[in-house]
Amino acid sequence: MNSPRLIETNAFPFEFLSRLGKRESWRKEVHRPIYHVHKWWAKRLGTVFRGILLGCALPEDADLPQQFYQRHAFSGVTVFDPFMGSGTTIGEAHKLGFSALGRDINPVAVESVRVALGPLDRRKIRQAFDELSHGAGETIRTLYLSEDSRRRVCDVLYYFWVMQTACPECGRVVDLFSSYIFAKNARPDKKAAVRILCPLCGQVFCGFYGQTRAACPSCDFAFNPELGPARGRMAVCGHCNAEFSILDAIGGKRPPFRMYAKLVLRKDGKKEYLPSSPADVRNYVRCSRRLREEAAKGNAAVPNLTLQYGHNTGQAMKYGFLRWSDFFNDRQLLALSLLRSAITEIADDPTKEAMLTLFSGVLEFNNLFASYKGEGTGAVRHMFSHHILKPERMPIEANVWGTPKSSGSFSNLFRSRLLRVLDYRDSPTEVNGTGRASGRVCSQPFSGTLHPWSDSMPPRAIALSCGDSSTTGLPDKSVDLVVTDPPFFDNVHYSELADFFFAWRQLSNTQPPRSTRDKNEVQDSNADRFSKKLRAVLRECRRVLKDDGLLAFTYHHSRNDGWKALADAVIEAGFAVVNSHPVKSEMSVATPKSQAKEPIQLDIIVVCRKATATNVCVDVQDAMTSGKEKLRRLQSAGMRLSRNDIKVVLYGQLLTTLANASEADTFADCVERELAVTPIPALAARHSLPLFPDD
């Protein structure tokens, strides 16, 4: 591996990967379902990691676009990913014939990857699903029965709920609607019909998007349907007109919710919005009673872990969501408990694990933080759509087992997640040039076997482990490549969010751990602490990497301190940066406000070798010239760049100039100076436009 690899040179065609990556990002879960069997945050694009791996293994004169669609068998080459997440590097390495070692500190991530890449038997999985459907599934479906407008029995697709609080002035209950329009199409500009709730009599009726006056057909009450009592942080009491702070009124006690409407699926297959009826309320009360009875008998499989205060958990705790079970209503807890108990009865272990992972994914869509996206799309907006834990004032309760027209239910996710994973494992495809459908099969099927950790790795073996990657237990100089994607500073608080799922895995376990948080998790709002933790993992990577091995990782940060922290960690761990390449990043829905105007659409691939006494650092001027040339290449590929995009490309290139960590301080100055005189100011001006013009 001593001769230069393609990824070390400027010939590495990052534009090609960016273009393909953009196509993959539209429908990641369809193109590479294997990494989408369960929720994880900041999943990277498989296309980009296939490209990185190929770039690390192929010689400098290789033709990547052509090699990308070839079958490969890099047997005898071992890749290690110390920050595995959902397993993107590991799966892509396996497809290319490498041996792959994946480790992550979070058990929620590792268990999902074990399911996606480990043994799965399609026949046993289908059989288990059928048995669940006839058993717990049947029982759960009865919890969501109601009547349509003609009083015929029907399934409920969704119940609509609203958070309530008592007015601090008059003490009466206020429904915290932000709008009385509770259902609209996901594209209201295309389909303007909306559903409105009458605040006076509770009737549900049709209106159209944008209307500011509505009259209830039942009671004639006239009102502005867009204006509910809740207005941002404040609410106005409909009884006494007092304006009050919602958080103060809630006072840290988990607020109650009121059911007000439902969407039913009639026997003729049509959907119908209706107000919730007294029978619906009785049905719900029966569920609550049954949950209490099951709990009294010790049969309720619901979490008993409490939230630990943190950046994200604090958002929920302010509203009095203190236990993970507070995130669900009683019917959700009952249905989930019935389902989980039935799954734990499955005899075949891999099948049981796969179903438990699927079940865990269902939690994300079936809780009080989920909301209604509207029709014309997957109807349920899951709780993590913004990487935060902010309580929802108008939650939606979906049918946990599901109907053929449901979204986010167990039976739907069985098809859209688990069966898709099985198909992909049999014939792993690559995104093709048109991006319309998943294209060509260029790899052997997945082996579906896992090898023990830390052994010598046979060709194409996969080994996974859960733990801190600053100590891996791997032998010195045993891996050829480290390919990874470290956490970006404090962008995502993985373990705080993952604890929502973890609480359901620890049901019968009263012993610690009570959380997936770990003091060694690389994630910190303090730059020095972040850098130290990252350095510890990179040092371990250096120890296990062969002397002629490569370390390649992606990084993405807008602030100077994020780059300085990275530079310090890399250099102090004993690496030298050989090159860097900009590449399309996955579309992040959780763009912090500070970046919204200048979004970063690029990840930087940083390529390193072990630092040696003879390392030659690049001259700053040369690095700037290379950076600008890369910007020009992106521009000729049709890309529109924000100021932050330009910055990160230059930051990435400046890494190659560093011989010691303290030089990282000059980063910002260099970049700012360069931006002031950049010969490509037009790039900076056109910021918020899409990455590539639509094909």
Ligand X SMILES: C[S@@+](CC[C@H](N)C(=O)[O-])C[C@H]1O[C@@H](n2cnc3c(N)ncnc32)[C@H](O)[C@@H]1O
- Residue among 78 and 89 whose Cβ is closer to ligand X: 89
Query: Smallest distance from the beta carbon of 252 to Zn ion, in angstroms?
Result: 20
Rounded to a whole number of angstroms, the minimum distance from the CB of residue 207 to Zn ion is 13
3 state DSSP class of 217: coil
Residue 183 Cβ vs Zn ion, minimum distance, rounded to whole Å: 17
Closest distance of CB 396 from Zn ion, Å: 22
CB of 630 to ligand X, least distance (A): 23
Helices (H), 367-524: 410-413, 420-426, 494-505
Q: Examine residue 240 and tell whether it contacts Zn ion (CB under 5 A).
A: yes
573 binds ligand X (CB under 6 A): no
> Please, what is the minimum distance in Å from the beta carbon of residue 469 to ligand X?
4
Q: Which residues contact 495 (CB under 8 A, 6 or more apart)?
A: 105, 106, 515, 516, 517, 518, 521, 523
Cβ proximity of 655 and 567 under 8 Å = yes
Is 169 a residue that touches Zn ion (CB under 5 A)? yes
Helices (H), 410-483: 410-413, 420-426
* Contacting residue, 153, 170, 222, 682, with Zn ion by CB under 5 A: 170
**What is the footprint of ligand X within residues 240-269 (CB under 6 A)?**
none
107 interacts with, out of Zn ion, ligand X, none, CB within 5 to 8 A per kind = none
Nearest to 378 by CA among 330, 415, 422: 415
- Measured from the CB atom, is 399 or 469 closer to ligand X? 469
Instruction: Tell me the C-alpha distance between 18 and 649, whole Å.
Output: 14
Instruction: Identify which of residues 85 and 137 has a Cβ nearer to ligand X in the complex.
Output: 85
CB of 98 to ligand X, least distance (A): 16
Looking at 14, 68, 80, 83, which residue binds ligand X (CB under 6 A)?
83
Which residue number is nearest to ligand X in terms of Cβ? 85
Question: How many residues in the shown chain lie near Zn ion by CB under 5 A?
Answer: 15
Q: Which of 152, 187, 239, 686 binds Zn ion (CB under 5 A)?
A: 239
- Using the contact rule CB under 5 A, the part of the chain among 162-170, 263-271, 297-305, 636-644 near Zn ion is 162-170
* In the complex, minimum distance from the CB of residue 537 to ligand X, in angstroms, rounded to a whole number: 5
Among 410, 494, 500, 692, binds ligand X (CB under 6 A): 494
Backbone phi and psi for residue 547, each to the nearest 5 degrees, phi listed first: -60, -30
Among 136, 358, 396, 537, binds ligand X (CB under 6 A): 537
From the list Zn ion, ligand X, none, pick the one residue 282 interacts with, judged by a Cβ distance below 5 to 8 Å according to partner type: none
Least distance in angstroms from the C-beta of 52 to ligand X:
11
For residues 131 and 134, what is the distance between their CA atoms, to the nearest angstrom?
5
- Judged by CB under 6 A, the residue of 8, 468, 598, 645 near ligand X is 468
Q: How do the residues of the chain divide into helix, strand and coil, expressed in percent and rounded to 5?
A: 35, 20, 45
Reduced 3-state DSSP string for 164-198: EEECCCCCCEEECCCCCEEEEECCCCCCCEEEEEC
- Member of 7, 183, 214, 237 binding Zn ion (CB under 5 A): 237
CB-neighbour burial class of residue 695 (10 A; exposed 0-12, middle 13-18, buried 19+)? exposed
Number of continuous H segments (helices) and E segments (strands) in the chain: 23, 25
Q: Which residues contact 415 (CB under 8 A, 6 or more apart)?
A: none
For residues 620 and 625, give the distance between their C-alpha atoms in angstroms, rounded to a whole number: 9
Per rule CB under 6 A, is residue 86 in the interface with ligand X?
A: yes
From ligand X, Zn ion, none, which one binds at residue 43 (CB under 5 to 8 Å depending on kind)? ligand X
469 binds ligand X (CB under 6 A): yes
Nearer Cβ to ligand X, position 105 or 250?
105
Q: How far is CA 402 from CA 139, 155, 265, 663, in A?
A: 12, 9, 11, 57
User: Which stretch in 103-111, 308-316, 385-393, 631-639 sits in contact with ligand X by CB under 6 A?
Assistant: 103-111
> How far is residue 86 from each of residues 113, 140, 227, 600, measured CA to CA in Å?
6, 30, 41, 22
Looking at the Cβ atoms of 242 and 659, the one nearer to Zn ion is: 242
Closest Cα partner for 136 from 509, 422, 402? 402
Q: What is the DSSP letter of 351?
A: H
Q: Does 88 bind ligand X (CB under 6 A)?
A: yes
Q: Is the dihedral of CA 327, 333, 335, 341 positive or negative?
A: positive
Regarding 657 and contact with ligand X (CB under 6 A), the answer is no
Q: Which residues in the 39-78 window bind ligand X by CB under 6 A? A: 40, 42-44
Q: Which does 485 bind (CB under 5 to 8 A by kind): Zn ion, ligand X, none?
A: ligand X
For 198-318, list the strands marked E by DSSP. 204-208, 214-215, 222-223, 230-231, 234-236, 243-245, 257-265, 271-275
106 binds, among Zn ion, ligand X, none (CB under 5 to 8 A by kind): ligand X
Phi-psi region of 687 (alpha: psi -120 to 50; beta: other; left: phi over 0): alpha
Nearest approach, Cβ of 578 to ligand X (angstroms)?
21
In single-letter form, the type of residue at position 213 comes to R
Enter the tokens of residue 138: 């049947």
324: which DSSP letter? G
Q: Which stretch binds ligand X (CB under 6 A): 229-237, 414-422, 466-474, 591-599?
A: 466-474
- Residue 219 interacts with Zn ion (CB under 5 A): yes or no: yes
CB of 87 to ligand X, least distance (A): 7
Which partner in Zn ion, ligand X, none is near 410 (CB below 5 to 8 A by kind)? Answer: none
Name which position in 52, 77, 96, 109 contacts ligand X (CB under 6 A): 109
Q: Is 200 among the residues that bind Zn ion (CB under 5 A)?
A: yes
According to CB under 6 A, which one of 13, 303, 487, 652 is a site residue for ligand X?
Answer: 487
Residue 107 touches ligand X, criterion: CB under 6 A: no
Number of other residues whose CB lies within 10 A of the CB of residue 669: 10
Task: Report yes or no: 158 and 372 within 8 Å, Cβ to Cβ.
Answer: yes
Q: Considering the rule CB under 6 A, would residue 463 count as an interface residue with ligand X?
A: no
556: helix, strand or coil? coil
SS (H, E, C) 602-665: EEEEEEEEECCCCCCCCCHHHHHHHHHHHHHHHHHCCCCCCHHHHHHHHHHHHHHHCCCHHHHH
Candidates 143-151, 354-362, 427-435, 467-475: pick the segment binding ligand X (CB under 6 A). 467-475
| Closest to ligand X by CB, 80 or 244 | 80
Contact positions vs Zn ion (CB under 5 A): 167, 169-170, 198, 200-201, 203, 216, 218-219, 221, 237, 239-240, 242
Q: By CB under 6 A, name the binding residues for ligand X.
A: 40, 42-44, 82-83, 85-86, 88, 103-106, 109, 468-470, 485, 487, 494, 520-522, 537
